[in-house]
Amino acid sequence: MIRELGVDHCNEAFELWNLERSVNSFVGESWSLNSIKKMVSLGDSLGYFIEERLQAFILGRRGTVWEVELLVTSPTVRRQGVMRRLFEAWKEGLPPGMEVWVEVHVRNIAGCGFYESIGFVRVGKRNSYYKDGGDALLYSFFALDAE
């Protein structure tokens, strides 16, 4: 079940992020529980739940600019289309012509593979963007088929 991520879910989201970060340093900048709470409080983030347990989430902003800040799927349910469905739900209402932006560590194979698979196009690169010296790839998704 997909629904808005609330402040009550931030601990679980932080756990998923921490677990990922411990095995994959290319997942991006560090997130704290507080920074996740701050993002969630904007009301633009979604979670995917199985029996009330958070399995995946998207932290984003849907303002004058739409941005994906972080997305994580629990390792136990990966490659089952969970994030694809979550992103479909998240982008509902994306106005025609609006773009969604995201930055991904150049060595984050899963992240790049995911964004490319759902129609994001690589539009730029920020050299030495991350603390480890890695470049950030800038991807954009255009709302070509938005209603």
Binding site for ligand COA (CB under 6 A): 20, 24, 27-28, 56, 70-73, 78-84, 104, 108-111, 113-114, 117
List of residues 6+ apart from 18 with CB closer than 8 A: none
Shortest distance, position 4 Cβ to ligand COA, whole Å: 18
Task: Give the pair of three-digit tokens for residue 52.
Answer: 């009330």
Q: Which is nearer to ligand COA, 59 or 94 (CB)?
A: 59
- Residue 144: DSSP 8-state: T
Which residues is 3 bridged to in the sheet?
A: 47
Whose tokens are 């849907």? That residue is 62
Whose tokens are 């009330």? That residue is 52
Q: Which is nearer to ligand COA, 51 or 95 (CB)?
A: 51
Q: Which is nearer to ligand COA, 33 or 110 (CB)?
A: 110
In this structure, the number of other CB atoms found within 10 A of the CB of residue 78 comes to: 15
Q: Which is nearer to ligand COA, 39 or 72 (CB)?
A: 72
Shortest distance, position 78 Cβ to ligand COA, whole Å: 3
Residue nearest to ligand COA (CB): 113
Residue 75 φ/ψ, nearest 5 degrees = -55, -25
